[in-house]
Amino acid sequence: MALLSEKDAKKVQEILNALPSTVEVHFFTQELECQFCRETGELLRELAALSPKLKLVEHDFLLDKDAASAFSVEMVPAIVPVGPAGDLGLRFYGIPAGYEFASLLESFKLAAGADPELADETKEFLSQLAQELELEVYVTPTCPYCPGMVVNAFRLAAASPKVKAAMVEATEFPHLAIRYQVRGVPRTVINRGQAYIEGLVPESHLVETLRSLS
């Protein structure tokens, strides 16, 4: 049974066919002890069948240790979109369902080489960045504000090799949600707990928070 309706599939197909280049979608999965690995795989296979611009590469997380190590993947399900510029540091941990489907499509655009469309002040900040930054945006599929924060983080990562950004679906990784005290979403965890941002904030607010850490 298709996960996307015929109408939605047609819209998504138009978006994928318009990508400026081909994107390899690396999907890490395992058979057991993974709540949504099967559904995530079904979704990605359905998307890959819609357009030649998506090339799905599936990895068994337990068996393909080299690939997991190369992409620094520590848990599943995991999605890593890779375009002509290589790995931009964009990650999905958990199924990108509900509102997060929009974040997935945006990650394909960024990986394919689309302009992140950042403010000049943000570009200047990134050009002077000395330390590496890791942004983990905790979300749930029913949160309408979460994709905006995920995309904010992804755009920074797409524009700088010093920034990595991940969507983490909080209900699939409760141990992490407890560790980082995720009581509401989106909650952005910076450098594994060095700082936090609550809710959806403008790009300028995110940058100011990151600037305060340096």
- pLDDT tens digits for range 126-159: 999 999 999 999 999 999 999 999 999 999 999 9
Set out the domains of the chain in order of their start, with CATH numbers: 6-111 (3.40.30.10), 120-211 (3.40.30.10)
Measured CA to CA, the distance from residue 205 to residue 112 in angstroms comes to 27
91 alpha carbon, distance to own chain's centre: 4
d(Cα 55, Cα 77) in Å, to the nearest integer? 17
| Res 214 pLDDT > 90 | no
Categorize the per-residue pLDDT at 2 as very low, low, confident or very high, splitting at 50, 70 and 90: confident
The alpha carbon dihedral of 144, 145, 151, 157 has a sign of negative
| Own/partner pairs, 59-64, CB within 8 angstroms, 24+ separation | 59/26, 59/27, 59/28, 59/29, 60/29, 60/30, 61/28, 61/29, 61/30, 62/30, 64/28
Q: How does pLDDT run across 28-44, given as a tens digit for each residue? A: 999 999 999 999 999 99
Overall size of the chain counted in residues: 214
40-78 burial string, b = 16+ CB within 10 Å, else e?
A: bbebbeebbebbebbebeebebeebeebbeebebebbbb
